[in-house]
Amino acid sequence: MPATMAKKRRSGTGAESLARQAIYLAKLAKAKHGKDLSISGQALGELERVFDFVTESLMTNCQASMKMMKTKTLSLKVARCASEVTFTGRLREDATVRGARAVMNYEKRATATEPASVSAA
């Protein structure tokens, strides 16, 4: 290759992450349902769009909640308010329960992995 020709860099379009998300969803479905259920590429594309929509809605509602609460920090209270506005009915209940469980698990693991404090000698 001549010295004047440089290799092209990959552009960070984010297409790689979308492909990984689809692969993750397919593996998740296979792990949960085994060979009884398969997902088409079109269905994976639709699921990605649903996830993108939910994520965008949550972030929009988080921003609105933060503005109303006059804060610049995304706290647990703001996240709960945003999820209650975003979701309705049984989906809201399920999201609230699973979110609380996730926070408890996170706090449990965070406190379990904290290094012991060093006492002054």
**In sequence order, what DSSP letters do the residues of 102-118 get, joined into one string?**
HHHHHHHHHHHSPPPPP
**% of the chain at pLDDT higher than 70:** 78
Q: Which two tokens stand for residue 106?
A: 């996170």
**What is the distance between the alpha carbons of residues 112 and 99, in angstroms, rounded to a whole number?**
20
Lowest mean pLDDT of 4-8, 35-39, 90-94, name the range: 4-8
Region 16-20: mean pLDDT is: 59
Model confidence pLDDT, tens digit, residues 70-110: 999 988 888 888 888 899 999 899 988 888 898 899 889 98
Shortest CA distance to 93 belongs to which of 83, 105, 102? 83
> What pLDDT shows up at residue 74?
87
**What is the distance between the alpha carbons of residues 28 and 34, in angstroms, rounded to a whole number?**
10
Superfamily of domain 18-112: Histone, subunit A (1.10.20.10)
> What pLDDT shows up at residue 121?
47
**What is the distance between the alpha carbons of residues 75 and 24, in angstroms, rounded to a whole number?**
28
**At 94, which amino acid appears?**
D
**pLDDT category of residue 62 using cuts at 50, 70 and 90:** very high
pTM of the shown model:
0.62
